[in-house]
């Protein structure tokens, strides 16, 4: 399904989201470092545990509203909230207002995303959904390649200009949604549920989750996923603190006596850029390579590569060694929490990387247990 044949809604979203995603990766990976430098690793680590909670709430809220008010108004709400929060961030006189703005940006994105995904499902036939989502993922990953490298310069030297640019892009995207995007919520989905209070919606959803979590197979799957994600999430959390504070500036290349020197911040940007580039280049080939593998073995391999790759980051501070282990843990991500930042004020890096490795091994054990339960009691998954 070629892009020129896409519905206008999808084309507007592809351009808007791809552009904003690049700007997102110019500031987000450095946020933890920003707050750590201002408030200390301990306080910053605690503060970084809060945004995911707001994101969960925002996703529930956004999903509920998208099914009752429609996709378009919820997308407008999410984009507008992010725009306002970026303006607040750019004009902020204190780090605490910066933090509130950062939470608001995440909340706006969480509200926006369910409606955005639902709009795709509304417009695209089931047989084309994978291709459409893959196109969006590819566009986003291109932003993840360019964003960190640019952000290593702009976030620390031109932060206000970067934040104002994010606000402007989101404002223009808000206007584009308002003018060009039409509602896609099916008429059959509209009912008196739209009058149901949000409190009732949350109660119903939590009741549904309670039923789900009583399923033993599903519960083990969720626990394994949480432990598996901890090593992966360090790319956006502790890794920034570690590289910028512990990896010295060094030459990327030496040529006829000339050096291409990278600062610690630029090295971190290069690591993230490599991570995004590997996703763009290998997501489709790796998916094909492992399509005949059992899910159990894929999950175990993913946890193993992510855990060992992240652990190995602390073994050597040479830039090319960092690139090598980045390839390892990125493939762990491809084939398939902020707990560590505040610990960095008390313990050395290798202790933290060891904790991350332990989490990865715990996820492996849980995945093995999960598929053992599934094989011995297949009726538990029905």
Tell me what pLDDT residue 167 has: 94
Tell me what pLDDT residue 1 has: 54
Task: From 214, 234, 252, give the residue that closes a domain.
Answer: 214
Q: Indicate whether 93 and 224 sit together in one domain.
A: no
Tell me what pLDDT residue 337 has: 41
CA torsion 259-262-263-264 (nearest 10°) is -130
Using the CB atoms, write b or e for 219-250: b if 16+ within 10 Å.
ebbebbbebbbbbbbbbbbbbbbbbbeebeee
Tell me what pLDDT residue 50 has: 83
SS3 string, the chain, reads CCHHHCCHHHHHHHHHHHHHHHHHHHHHHHHHHHHHHHHCHHHHHHHCCCHHHHHHHHHHHHHHHHHHCCHHHHHHHHHHHHHHHHHHHHHCCCHHHHHHHHHHHHHHHHHHHHHHHHHHHHHCCHHHHHHHHHHHHHHHHHHHHHHHHHHHHHHHHCHHHHHHHHHHHHHHHHHHHHHHCCCCCCHHHCCHHHHCCHHHHHHHHHHHHHHHHCCHHHHHHHHHHHHHHHHHHCCCCHHHHHHHHHCCCEEEEEECCEEEEECHHHHHHHHHHHHHHHHHHHHHHHHHHCCCCCHHHHHHHHHHHHHHHHHHHHHCCCHHHHHHHHHHHHHHHHCCCCCCCHHHHCCCHHHHHHHHHHHHHHHHHHHHHHHHHHHHCHHHHC
Tell me what pLDDT residue 44 has: 82
Q: Indicate whether 119 and 250 sit together in one domain.
A: no
Instruction: Give the range of the structural domain holding residue 347, as residue numbers without chain letter.
Output: 215-382
Per-residue confidence in pLDDT tens, the chain, 382 aa: 566 667 888 888 888 888 888 888 888 888 888 888 888 878 887 888 788 788 878 888 888 888 888 899 999 999 999 999 999 999 999 999 999 999 999 999 999 988 988 888 888 877 777 777 778 877 877 787 788 878 878 888 899 999 999 999 999 999 999 999 888 887 765 544 544 566 666 666 666 666 666 767 767 777 777 776 666 666 666 787 788 888 888 888 877 777 788 888 888 888 888 887 887 788 778 777 877 787 778 878 888 888 888 888 888 889 999 999 989 988 887 776 444 755 555 667 777 777 777 777 877 787 787 777 767 666 555 5
Residues sharing a CB contact under 8 Å with residue 294, sequence separation 6 or more, in sequence order: none
Q: Indicate whether 268 and 312 sit together in one domain.
A: yes
How many whole angstroms separate alpha carbon 276 and alpha carbon 149? 11
Task: From 194, 214, 234, give the residue that closes a domain.
Answer: 214
Q: Indicate whether 194 and 251 sit together in one domain.
A: no
Q: Indicate whether 230 and 158 sit together in one domain.
A: no
Q: Indicate whether 176 and 226 sit together in one domain.
A: no
Tell me what pLDDT residue 377 has: 63
Task: From 158, 192, 214, give the residue that closes a domain.
Answer: 214
Stated pTM of the model: 0.72
Q: Indicate whether 66 and 166 sit together in one domain.
A: yes
Q: Indicate whether 71 and 147 sit together in one domain.
A: yes
Q: Indicate whether 236 and 369 sit together in one domain.
A: yes
Tell me what pLDDT residue 121 has: 83
Query: What CATH number is attached to the domain comprising 71?
Result: 1.20.1250.20
Closest CA to 90 of 10, 184, 155: 155
Q: Indicate whether 283 and 152 sit together in one domain.
A: no
How many whole angstroms separate alpha carbon 272 and alpha carbon 365? 29
368, 300 contact by CB (below 8 A): yes
Q: Indicate whether 163 and 302 sit together in one domain.
A: no
Q: Indicate whether 84 and 36 sit together in one domain.
A: yes
Domain count, the chain: 2
How many whole angstroms separate alpha carbon 350 and alpha carbon 90? 36
């Amino acid at each position: 399904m070629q892009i020129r044949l896409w519905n206008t809604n999808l084309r507007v979203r592809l351009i808007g989201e791809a552009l904003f995603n690049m700007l997102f990766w110019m500031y987000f990976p450095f946020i933890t470092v920003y707050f750590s430098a201002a408030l200390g690793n301990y306080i910053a680590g605690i503060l970084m545990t809060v945004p995911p909670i707001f994101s969960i709430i925002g996703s529930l809220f956004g999903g509920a509203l998208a099914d009752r008010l429609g996709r378009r108004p919820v997308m407008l709400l999410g984009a507008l909230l992010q725009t306002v929060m970026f303006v607040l961030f750019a004009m902020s006189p204190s780090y605490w207002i910066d933090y509130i703005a950062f939470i608001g940006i995440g909340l706006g994105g969480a509200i926006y995303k369910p409606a955005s995904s639902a709009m795709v499902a509304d417009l695209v036939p089931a047989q084309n959904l994978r291709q459409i989502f893959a196109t969006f993922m590819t566009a986003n990953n291109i932003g993840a390649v360019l964003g960190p490298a640019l952000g290593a310069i702009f976030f620390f030297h031109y932060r206000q200009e970067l934040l104002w640019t994010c606000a402007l892009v989101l404002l223009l995207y808000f206007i584009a949604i308002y003018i060009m995007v039409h509602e896609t919520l099916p008429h059959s989905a509209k009912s008196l549920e739209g009058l149901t209070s949000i409190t009732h919606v949350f109660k119903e959803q939590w009741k549904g989750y309670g039923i789900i979590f009583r399923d033993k197979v599903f519960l083990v799957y969720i626990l394994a996923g949480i432990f598996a994600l901890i090593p992966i999430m360090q790319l956006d959390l502790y890794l920034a603190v570690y590289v910028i504070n512990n990896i010295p500036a060094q030459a990327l290349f030496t040529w006829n006596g000339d050096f291409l020197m990278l600062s610690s911040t630029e090295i971190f940007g290069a690591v993230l850029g490599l991570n995004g580039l590997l996703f763009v280049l290998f997501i489709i080939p790796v998916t094909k390579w492992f399509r005949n593998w059992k899910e159990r073995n894929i999950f175990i391999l993913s946890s193993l590569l992510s855990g060992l790759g992240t652990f190995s980051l602390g073994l050597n501070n040479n830039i090319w060694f960092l690139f090598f282990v980045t390839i390892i843990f990125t493939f762990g991500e491809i084939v398939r929490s902020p707990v560590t930042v505040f610990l960095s004020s008390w313990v050395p890096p290798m202790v933290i990387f060891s904790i991350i490795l332990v989490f990865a091994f715990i996820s492996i054990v849980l995945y093995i247990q999960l598929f053992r339960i599934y094989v011995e009691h297949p009726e538990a998954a029905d």
